[in-house]
Amino acid sequence: MFAYGIFKVIYSPFKAFKEILEKPKYIGPMLIMLLFVLANIGSAYVFLSKAYLDQTVPISSRLDEWTENCTLWASNVGTPECSGDHIGGVFYGNSSIEFSIVNGSQIWMQLNITDPLDCSGPEGYRNLSFRIKWNQTDGEVKPNNVTLYLFSTFPADYFYYDLTENFTESNSNVWNNLTIPLGSEKWANNSAYASWGNIESLMLEFTWPTNCNVTLLIDGLFFHGVFKSVMESEGGYLFNYSLVAFMQFTIQWVVLGGLLYIISKAFRAKPVWKTSLTIAGFALITLFVQALANAAAYANLPAIRYPLEMLGGVPGEGQAAFNQIFEATQLVFQITGYIQIAIHIWTVFLCAIAVRLLFEFSWLKGFLISALTYLLSILVMTFIMG
């Protein structure tokens, strides 16, 4: 019977509110709250199953720890230092790694990877990204040889990649962002035993044509390019969505009911708190319908891939990826926007019916009270929950 009363508000609101006003009870709104939470979890599941995040090593929760900890590196110029000159962004920590030579022509630096990485096959990491900046105090001389090495199972087996052309047109004193595709035809190997499935170490080697004074900075070093759905990589999201849905409904229920009580009284009515709160709770059946409609809309979304460039949070860097995602999802989110507008109008209409039946107001006064109440409740909800 309770379920019948709840859904009757949808298809026969006049009869439903007449019955509700005769015996107002909180059990109906509480069941609507449960339905809304469940529908919101379902809607979130549909959306998150379409969203894929770029998986990184190091993992994003540990930031770019390889360029935050100087002790992880070995170099021909001794132990490197941590520099406050770093990339700003979500993933990039508070420092970079600094290597310096005085009157020298070569710097190499090597990072040992604690857990060997699989860079082969469909589940393997496909890209290596890092930032490089160099400062010279005796003029600007570009390196004439820059090589990236990835060592396999044995130190004698490795892949190498010529990066020199990436620096021929680059300038000193600016951060250069490099993304190297792993396993591409530009890589060479020194041994048939070198394996992309077991990468244990990384080395960069810079050589200048003459002796010079150079400081090299490295930041934001990540292996990435494996995309996993949010549901697969972040299992706690649905629980968080359920909590947010519970809070949203509870707060909106109390706020809408309280404002309905206050504004009705301002129009010289004699409202009862329990009745006002019950009316508000039943009117919010629209939120349940909205969650179901959004789930249906999200089911038509394409797979959405969020790459490192977008997740990293460097201003302006992920704009191309954002534009591509926006273009692919624009129609669906336009539809959810129209659904939101329809839900606003529907909720105002339900509240107006209840107010008219309860206080025997005219339709004009009923809609005025309802619209004012709902508008103020949205403003309060925006302030509370953002």
Question: What are the domain boundaries of the chain?
Answer: 2-55+230-385, 56-225
d(CA 381, CA 369): 18
Please state whether the predicted TM-score (pTM) of the whole model is above 0.95.
no
The encoded tokens of residue 356 equal 């008219």
pLDDT given for residue 1 in this prediction: 42
pLDDT given for residue 233 in this prediction: 67
Hey, what's the torsion of the CAs at 12, 13, 14, 20, to 10 degrees? Answer: 110
Separation in Å, CA 222 to CA 130, 306, 313:
6, 15, 14
Hey, what's the torsion of the CAs at 84, 88, 91, 92, to 10 degrees? Answer: -20
* Short-list 198, 182, 192, CA closest to 148: 182
Pairing of strands 304-306, 51-57: parallel
| Phi, psi angle pair for 218, to nearest 5° | -125, 135
Q: What is the pLDDT of residues 181-234, one digit of tens each?
A: 998 889 998 887 888 988 999 999 999 888 888 888 999 899 998 888 887 766
What superfamily does domain 56-225 belong to in CATH? Galactose-binding domain-like (2.60.120.260)
Q: Is the bond leading into 58 cis (omega within 30 degrees of zero)?
A: yes
Residues of the chain short of pLDDT 50, as ranges, are 1
